[in-house]
Each structure stands twice: as C-alpha cells, then as structure tokens.
Amino acid sequence: MTDNKINIVLVGFDLEIIDLIESSPHYKLHGYIDFKDVSKQFGCNDINYLGNDETWMKNRPDKDLTFAFGMNSPQIRKDLFLRYRSENIGIIKSASCYIARKATIEIGTVIQHHVTIMPMAKIGKGCLLNINSTVHHESDIGDFSILAPGAMVLGRVNIGERVYIGAGAIIKENCCVGPGSVIGAGSVVIRDIPDNSTMVGVPAKKVIKDVVK
C-alpha cells in the first residue's frame, strides 16, 4: 500500500504542532529543525532531529518535503518564513477544524484542533491559530500573527502583521489592531488599537512602562 502522507519538516520544536501532525491521517513528521536537540527532555525519543538551520542547509536531503513553523512568536515566525522561503511551505490544519468554503488561508499557517474560520475571513502567511480560536466573517488576520487558545476575533475585524492575541481574548466587531501589537489573555478590545501597542483588561487598555493607562 502506497503511503500518500505529506512529509512535514517542523522548524522549531513544538509539542502541540507535533501532536497535530502525528494525529492526522494526512501528515507524517519527517523531523524537526532547532538550534539543539530538545526532544528527549520531553520524552520524545522517536522524533528525528534534523539539526540546526546551518547543518540543515548543508545536508538537506533530495526529498519532497513540506515545511511548517512551530515558534510562538510573531517576529520569529516571520524571520523563519523568510529564511526558508525557497522551500515548499505548506498549510497545516487539523482534521477537526472548520474552514468555511469562502475563507482564504495563505501558506505557512498552522490551524490547530477545533479552530473555526468563517466565510470571507482571510488568514495571512505564517499565522498560528491555536486550539479553539475563532475568526468570524470578513475578518482579516495579518501575516505572522498568532491567536492563542480560545481567542475570538469577531466580524469585520482587521488584525495587522505580527500581532499576538492572548488566550481567551475577544476582539469586538469592526475593530482594527495595529501591526506588532500584543493583546493580553482574557482582554476585550472594543476600539481600534494603534501599532505596537500592548493592551490588557476589560475593556482593554494600553500598558505604558508597566502601568495600565
């Protein structure tokens, strides 16, 4: 019987994305790239360590491989995407996610278990949509942004590039969140957020020099 699974190289060790890959009938984990072999400290003795960036570039096998990114930092996800842009960068999605027919997803994005993406939503390059997060209709998630578990983006929201939305945070309808911003866990955004802002609370307020204003 022919194995038709897609061989995935994971850049950056990530237990939850490894679980997504290994639990899927569509993917097979070829191995992971990281600055050192960290798998054994997590009891993952059967995962193939492929070396760091430099050794991988020197010893890359002549094999059909698809790349995914495991880092939980928007800027690092962007840096790795650019570093490996000559490779075949895929879209990795759980079988339990729901993606509406008219939603669009760009390469490099990982969509975890029980994520919901509704009609006309757009997900940019290199994003990470974590477990139970939701993107509602006509919302636009910028490149390399991250939705932590349970984050909810309501309808017609615009999220800029490299935004981190914390666990359980809610972005209300029609809001814009500027590039490089961080929304704290459990926060509720009810108005537009300027670029490179850190916001916490209900409603979310800007953090300036460790003081909430």
- Say if residue 152 is in the same domain as residue 180: yes
How many CB atoms lie under 10 A from the CB of residue 48? 11
- CATH number, domain of 122, equals 2.160.10.10
Return phi, psi of residue 111, to 5°: -120, 110
pLDDT digits (tens, 9 = 90+) for 145-171: 999 999 999 999 999 999 999 999 999
CATH of the domain at 25: 3.40.50
Is the pLDDT at 210 greater than 70, yes or no?
Answer: no
pLDDT digits (tens, 9 = 90+) for 110-123: 999 999 999 999 99
92 closest CA partner among 76, 78, 106: 106
Retrieve residue 6's tokens: 């897609």
Inside any domain, residue 208: no
- Choosing from 26, 114, 136, 137, the catalytic residue is 137
Annotated active-site residue 137? The verdict is yes
Give the DSSP H or E segment for 105. Answer: strand 104-105
- pLDDT of 59 strictly over 60: yes
pLDDT for residue 2 is more than 80: no
Please, what sign has the CA dihedral across residues 136, 134, 12, 107? negative
- Structural domain including 77 reads 6-83
Point out the least confidently predicted range of 44-48, 83-87, 165-169. 44-48
* Arithmetic mean of pLDDT, 20-29: 95
Q: Is the pLDDT of residue 212 over 80?
A: no
Residues 152 and 60 in one domain: no
Rounded to two decimals, the pTM is: 0.93
